[in-house]
């Protein structure tokens, strides 16, 4: 029986699997950020117009988005770390390394922007 330490992975194959994951989750993070901005605007508008129920709904939407991001954070950290290690140390073809580095930068940018947006709170 082969142990996990005996397994070897082809860096090109791993990179080929990471690229679509980075792209997919960068898009999900952008969507969370967009929905967060919408909830923040709705909350501000509802508070300004003294619409308590609408403000509560917007705040509940915001909290759901915060929860979703917090659930993704451990895995997004792992994904970022794996891709970064492969870019830095993997034996990759130059084009694969470049694509992986670009997708990683795009992913990390989306993650930081979404974290900042949610970190600003419902009042944004």
Reported as a single tens digit per residue, the pLDDT across 62-105 is: 999 999 999 999 999 999 999 999 999 999 999 999 999 999 99
Please check whether residue 76 lies inside any domain of the structure: yes
Please check whether residue 89 lies inside any domain of the structure: yes
Please give the helix or strand (H or E) that residue 61 lies within, else none. Answer: helix 52-89
Single out the residue of 14, 29, 8, 21 nearest to residue 97, CA to CA. 14
Q: How much is the pLDDT for 80?
A: 97
Please check whether residue 71 lies inside any domain of the structure: yes
Please check whether residue 15 lies inside any domain of the structure: no
Please check whether residue 6 lies inside any domain of the structure: no
Q: Taking 70 as the threshold, does the pLDDT of residue 121 lie above it?
A: yes
Asked if 18 and 86 touch (Cβ cutoff 8 Å), the reply is: yes
Between helices 11-48 and 94-119, what is the axis angle to 10°?
20
For tokens 């080929």, the residue is 16
Q: How confident is the model at residue 5 (pLDDT cuts 50, 70, 90)?
A: low
Domain count of the fold of the chain: 1
Please check whether residue 2 lies inside any domain of the structure: no
Q: How much is the pLDDT for 124?
A: 87
Please check whether residue 100 lies inside any domain of the structure: yes
The tokens of 64 are what? 């759901």
What CA–CA distance (Å, rounded) separates 124 from 110?
Answer: 17
Asked if 76 and 111 touch (Cβ cutoff 8 Å), the reply is: yes
Domain, as residue range, for 86: 22-119
In the chain, helix, strand, coil percent, each to 5? 85, 0, 15
| Average pLDDT along the chain | 94
Q: How much is the pLDDT for 8?
A: 76
For 34-63, write each residue's pLDDT tens digit: 999 999 999 999 999 999 999 999 999 999
Please check whether residue 56 lies inside any domain of the structure: yes
């Amino acid at each position: 029986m082969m142990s996990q330490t005996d397994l070897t992975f082809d860096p090109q194959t791993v990179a080929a699997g990471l690229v679509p994951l980075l792209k997919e989750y960068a898009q999900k993070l952008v969507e969370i950020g967009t929905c967060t901005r919408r909830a923040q605007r709705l909350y501000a508008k509802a508070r300004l117009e003294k619409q308590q129920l609408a403000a509560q709904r917007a705040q509940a939407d915001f909290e759901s988005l915060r929860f979703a991001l917090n659930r993704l954070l451990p895995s997004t950290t792992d994904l970022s770390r794996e891709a970064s290690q492969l870019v830095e140390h993997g034996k990759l073809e130059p084009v694969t390394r470049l694509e992986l580095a670009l997708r990683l930068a795009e992913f990390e940018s989306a993650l930081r922007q979404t974290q900042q947006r949610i970190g600003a709170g419902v009042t944004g």
